[in-house]
Structures are given as structure tokens and as C-alpha cells.
Amino acid sequence: MENSEEPAFFATVSHPSRCEGTPSAGLVTPAHLSVESSAGSVERPPVPPTEVTILRQFLAAGPDTVSGARLAKQLGLSRVAIWMQLQKLIRQGFVFEALHSRGYRMTKTPDTLHPALVQAHLNGRLRPSHLVCLATVDSTNSEAERLLAAGAAVPLVILAGAQTQGRGRRGRVWHSPPAGNLYSTFVFRPRLEPARLHDFTLWMGLNICELVANFAKLEPGLKWPNDLHVQGRKAGGMLTEARVDADQIRDLVFGLGLNLNGRGADLPRELQKTAISLADATGAPLDLNRFAAALIGRVLSAYDQFLAGTYRDKFAELWQRYDVLRGRAVSVTQGTRTVAGTATGIDNEGSLIIRLPSGRSERFRAGEVTLSREAAPAV
């Protein structure tokens, strides 16, 4: 968790050669797994395609059974080999019920990130060129930087169950415990002018709201510029970084931390009144791997719409639905200056519009926003 004090987007200029290069030979399959903290030297064995295919069959079957003989024929394996594959999955947290003469039924999946299961859930959705699933990492954004430097293909997606040095804005630490939450980074190479990115984070935030609303049947909201709110408390936050070559965005890095299945009681005391998890809001844990796949599909689709410039009408519609500040008394702090007024929306560049007590309106491209119950006096 962290508060917002500056724009959700900022750019850093770096040398053109730093992140360029062809994808490495190790990126033939789109997903890798590591169960230890990554510092750029951890080898990630590729996910066996057989495992993904088997899981797709079970997901498609739902509560019905899957024939071991049919699986064996489809994959060109023996029945014994299929049984051994299922035993391997059982050791990873899956539960299968064997029914005589009918086959197997999958009755339980892991409640931690499982790369093959995420890939299986991606069936029919947009997929990244490179997907990395980590149990623990220092920071998903930092891991993205390392992979880009090694020539990773894009779109690149990094998912983690915990971060030891989670990064919020203004260098703040993002509380990222291993409690069933989801920490992710999406990397693109858009080759756009920097001016095009003024509403990128807001557009992504609106899509995250739409995903949460559909997936968890909640009523989320977006607190300008980069916080996801549920039931008036913070459930997630975003951080967008970019590296610029001359007049073009070369690397665009979008980071998202979501309180998915963590318990409010496990949060630091100073966050318990201001933060919430989606599980606490719904009263039940969410399927982490299914949500991760839905998130990947939604973000990649939103990026394609952004790149094509076809998102603006949808942006306006979603902003009307998910803006949590409109009509609310707020204060905006920039450095030592605090302005109090009423939030009336955003302009075409994503700046927050505040109507002051004098009736005049002022626009803010950056700032820390607090609602009236927390508002500081204007100076």
C-alpha cells in the first residue's frame, strides 16, 4: 500500500542500446516458473506443454470427467504416462478424483500462482510473448528491467505472489506479503510519442475496475490518478514507468498490485482502516490463477485499443461509471501547497479538475488527493 503524491506516469531517458536485442533462445515457450526470489540469475525451466494441455482439458470439462485414454491418445502418450503427469500435478497442489470406467475429475486447484494453470486459463484470450510466474521477487518492475536488458520479447508479463521490495510511487515501499495477493508487471514497446501517454494509467485503471466488477461482482472505483477502491478503501494501485529514446517511448512498464485474497487483519495496523482485499469485500477467496489469466487478457486488450487510438469513447463511458471523486469535496497537495475544492472530473489530458470555493476551476496533472474527511486546510 502507498499513497499517491505524483503522476502515475513518469519517464526516464536511457541509452538506446540498453534494452534492445533479439529474444533469447530460452524464450521458446511463453511461461516460466521460479519458486525463489529472483535477482536476474535464477533459471526458470519452461512449463511443459503437456501439462498445459492436460489442464485445459480438465478446465473445459468442468465438473465432468476426463478420460485418461482420450488424453493419452490426444497427447501420444501411454495411460501410465498420463497417470504420472497427474501424480506430478497432485504434488503441486491439484486434487483429482478417479472414477472407475469414467476417468478423472479435477476437484481442487492450487491457491498459489501456477504458471501452467494460468496458461491453461488463457485459452481463447490474448497471450503475451513471454510470461513469467514467480513465487517471490524483489519487485516485478525490477524483474521486468532485468529481463528487458537480457532481450526478452514483448509483450512481457511478470506475475508474483509476493515482493520483498515492492515499489510504489515516489520510491515508497509497497506492502507485498505472500498472502494470496497478486503483483504484476506488463511490458510493451509502443514506439509512441510521450505525449500520447497522458491518460494511459487512467485507461488501464478503468479496465481493471471493469475486470473486478465482472469477475468479483463488486462495485470498484478509480481514485485519480492510480488507486483502485472498493467499499471506500484501497484495494490496489498502479505504477507506470517509461524509457524514452529521443521523441519516442521505447519501453513502457505498467505495474499493478492487487489485494486479492489477503486478510485485512494481517495488514499493518496503520493500513487496516484504509485498505481492503477483494476476498474481504466478497466474503470468499477468489481463484488466483483464473483471475491472473483474466487480468492478462484484459490488460493486453486494453493496450491494443490504446495503441490503435480506439479507446476514447469507451474511456468516457468507463470514467463516468468508476470515477470515485466526482462531486466529492477533496484537497489536492502538491509539494507544500494544498488546494481544497470539489472534484468535477478530468480534462482531455487526464488532469483532475477542481472547482474552488471562488467558483474558479483549477487543473492538476499531479498531486496527492484526499477526500473531505481527511482534507487539509488550503494554503
Q: How confident is the model at residue 377 (pLDDT cuts 50, 70, 90)?
A: very low
pLDDT, residue 268, reads: 74
CATH 3.40.50.300 fits 9-44+113-322, yes or no: no
Which fold is adopted by the domain 49-108?
Arc Repressor Mutant, subunit A (1.10.10)
pLDDT, residue 318, reads: 97
d(C-alpha 343, C-alpha 123), whole Å: 41
Mean pLDDT of all residues in 296-316:
96
CATH 2.30.30.100 fits 329-374, yes or no: yes
What amino acid is encoded at 41 in this protein?
Answer: S
DSSP state letters, 218-259? --EEEETTTEEEETTEEEEEEEEEEEEETTEEEEEEEEEEE-
pTM, to two decimals? 0.85
Domain range summary for the chain, segments of one domain joined by +: 9-44+113-322, 49-108, 329-374
pLDDT digits (tens, 9 = 90+) for 132-182: 999 999 999 999 999 999 999 999 999 999 998 766 554 455 555 666 799
Phi first, then psi: give them for residue 42, nearest 5 degrees. Answer: -80, 125
Q: Is the separation of the CB atoms in 235 and 258 below 8 Å? A: yes
Q: Is the separation of the CB atoms in 5 and 194 below 8 Å? A: no
